[in-house]
Amino acid sequence: MINDIHQDATTRMGKSIDALKHEFSKIRTGRAHPSLLDQITVSYYGNDSTISQVANVAVEDARTLTITPWEKNMVGVIEKAILKSDLGLNPATNGMVIRIPLPSLTEERRRSLVKVVKHEAENGRVAIRNIRRDANSVIKDALKDKKISEDDAHSAEDKIQKLTDQYIKDVEKLLEAKEADLLSI
């Protein structure tokens, strides 16, 4: 039973780290990458679809993305969706191709992105602590129901705490790497 609780906590904490990595990947560092547009959706025949589902998104050079819609009527829709997004991008349309030049990040913008990254990291730490709390409550319930001994409960809580500390360190490493990436010119 204790191994099941530990395994469940390990799995959930690993998913929290994956979610944090995904959130960090959305925060751009000034380099063009197709995943930058992943959260932008457009209406396509009545359904909300990501841009990558209705067009080909490619990297032209280090600071330029190109979008080639599969249908001509999607050019304006995609352009409006990019303008409405909070990414601060200004697409330029040339026939069927939409070019998105990525402006270089100012020092002020870099600092604000670092704040966003720190907030996301804190959310990751909170999620990991919540998983620890859930695991500890399951252990306490098992102790109350006399399914495990007090010694087993204490050692299981120590094991969960060590696991929590390990994953919090992983969050800190990810945060340091992303901060360094954002602040490098």
Dump pLDDT digits (tens) for 27-54.
766 677 777 777 788 888 888 888 888 8
Contact 117, 179 (CB under 8 A): yes
Take residue 53 and report the two structure tokens written for it. Answer: 């589902």
CATH of the structural domain 34-101, one choice from 3.10.105.10, 3.40.50.720, 3.40.640.10, 3.30.1360.40: 3.30.1360.40
Q: What's the residue count for the chain?
A: 185
> Could you tell me the mean pLDDT of each successive run of 10 residues in the chain, 185 residues long?
91 94 77 78 86 88 87 88 80 89 80 88 95 94 90 93 96 93 77
Write down the pLDDT at residue 160: 94
Number of H helices, E strands in the chain: 5, 6
Residue-range domain boundaries for the chain: 2-26+106-183, 34-101
| pLDDT tens track for 103-116 | 777 788 788 888 88
pTM (two decimals) = 0.69
